[in-house]
Every structure is written in C-alpha cells, then in structure tokens.
Amino acid sequence: MSFRISSEDALYIKQQFDPFLDAYDLANLSQREFYAKMIVAGQVKDPFSLKTPFLPDSPLDKKYIEELYSISRSKYSRSLEEAKKITQTEQKDVIEKIESFVEPII
C-alpha cells in the first residue's frame, strides 16, 4: 500500500507495482488517494487505487484544551524573570566576549 511519496522513494517502491504503475503515479497522488496490491488465495493480484473518506476534525472542547495548557505550563514553563536570570547567567561569558570584541581594521 502506498500513499503519495517523494519522487526518490517512488523510484524504489515502483518495483512493487511494475508494470502497472510508474514512479510518477506514486509521487503524484492526491490527498487521501493510495495504491494497494494484495495477495488473495496465495496469488498476487494487480494493484488498484482507493480513496479514503473525508473525516472532518472532531469539535474541540475548549475547557479540555485550557486544562492541557495549564498542565503543560505548570510542568515545563518558568516565569519571565526566572528565564531572564538563567539566560543572563548562562550567557555571561558570551556577552562579555561580544562587548570586548574589537572591530578589525579594513
């Protein structure tokens, strides 16, 4: 089974679909389209194309999203003041080198 793939990958995968499809066919599928090849009763069948149904995104619960943001912030974020302090401490040497840089004479 192959959905749309890169031209480079299509050159390799087309071997599985020869002589029915070429690399161009595999690299130029539309959204939700794919080619499949099956073995039925021990015999390899010719490849065929299919298209998956369109499934719209499910509605999002804003309360749930806010809860996720809150959990993420409590676990992974820092206050702005704390982040500035850490940045200044960790980059002190870099800032000193930049400030002491003498411009070359051209």
Average pLDDT, the chain: 88
> 44 φ, ψ to 5°?
-75, 125
Helix (H, G, I), strand (E, B) or coil at 64: helix
CB 4 within 8 A of CB 26: yes
- CA-only gyration radius of the chain, Å: 28
Range of the structural domain that residue 36 is part of: 7-51
The reply to whether 90 falls in a domain is: yes
Residues 47 and 11 occupy one common structural domain: yes
Asked if pLDDT for residue 5 goes beyond 80, the answer is yes
CA–CA distance, 13 with 5 (Å, rounded to integer): 9
Residues 69 and 44 occupy one common structural domain: no
Helix (H, G, I), strand (E, B) or coil at 39: strand
The reply to whether 56 falls in a domain is: no
Asked if pLDDT for residue 63 goes beyond 90, the answer is yes
CA–CA distance, 29 with 36 (Å, rounded to integer): 13
Residues 70 and 34 occupy one common structural domain: no
Structure tokens at 89: 């401490």
Which of the four pLDDT bands, split at 50, 70 and 90, describes residue 15?
Answer: confident
The reply to whether 2 falls in a domain is: no
Number of domains the chain contains: 2
pTM (predicted TM-score): 0.51
Asked if pLDDT for residue 33 goes beyond 90, the answer is yes
Residues 68 and 91 occupy one common structural domain: yes
